[in-house]
Amino acid sequence: MSIAIVTGGASGIGRAIATSLVARGDTVVVADINEAGAKTVADRLNGLGRGKAAAARLDVTDADAVTELYKGVKDEHGRLDRVFNNAGIAVGGLAEELTLDHWNRAIDINLKGVVHGVNAAYPIMLEQGNGHIVNTASLAGLVPMPVGIPYTATKHAVVGLSLGLRAEAAGRGVKVSVVCPSFINTPLLTNVNPDLPETALSGDATGDIKKASPFLYTAEKLARDIMRGVDRNQALIVAPRHGRAAWRGVRLSPSGAVRVAQIAVGRIRAGK
């Protein structure tokens, strides 16, 4: 049985990860800025009769709050085995539509939220000599995804952060993995640019995204891929299969991948 924290656990990928952990018999803290949503998830998971779940309100942009939660879980249980720094938001739109608010919100949540999780978890795991940090990035962290470059930039940063940390942590008993999913059918797709100026992709972008990826992967299937990758201590967990194919294509022909991305830009511009 492991002790785990999942940020962004009230919905989508985070909820699916928490469900997988509890189904395995683990103890999970479901952390989310949506406290009521986190409590609903934790209550449901406790009804599974396997592992245990608790809810915690957490704003990942608050570094002190993240550190307090992670240390508190370690103090309560005597250890912290796994953390899933998963909280994130979708920021989309053409570059000329974006404001600094779009950039800052993406950086604050998608990048600094992960930094705060790593900063809180890594010292704990170094002290105990073991643990696994799992950061959620995106396929957008491996390929040139346009029409949302603040999101793309932060996800590339999370990939680089994770792989660099993995190299440092390997000799200290701490494992690090980064998750890079393609488009997943989660509430993220229906809430692009929350509380931000509108762009061509604001609100429900599911229709536009389905033009690029008609078959959206489910969060539950992704969670199974994530747990399999964590058990195998994979550096990069890329899913589903078409996401791995896209990543391979970028490595074989970066310029070709940019040309493919230009097609998506043309479709968005035409639909404005």
List, by residue number, the catalytic residues. Answer: 151
Q: Are 81 and 106 in contact (CB under 8 A)?
A: no
- Evaluate the omega torsion of the peptide bond into residue 123 and state whether it is cis, within 30 degrees of 0: no
Q: Are 85 and 136 in contact (CB under 8 A)?
A: yes
Cβ–Cβ contacts within 10 Å for residue 110, how many?
Answer: 26
Helical pair 35-46 and 12-23, crossing angle rounded to 10 deg: 30
Buried b vs exposed e over 41-70: b needs ≥16 C-beta within 10 Å? bbeebeeeeebbbbbbbbbbbebebbbebb
CA–CA separation, 90 and 71 (whole Å): 29
In angstroms, the Cα distances linking 56 to 9, 62, 172, 209, 215 are 10, 14, 29, 32, 33
In angstroms, the Cα distances linking 171 to 166, 174, 213, 230, 232 are 9, 8, 39, 18, 17
Q: Are 158 and 137 in contact (CB under 8 A)?
A: yes
Q: Are 49 and 259 in contact (CB under 8 A)?
A: no
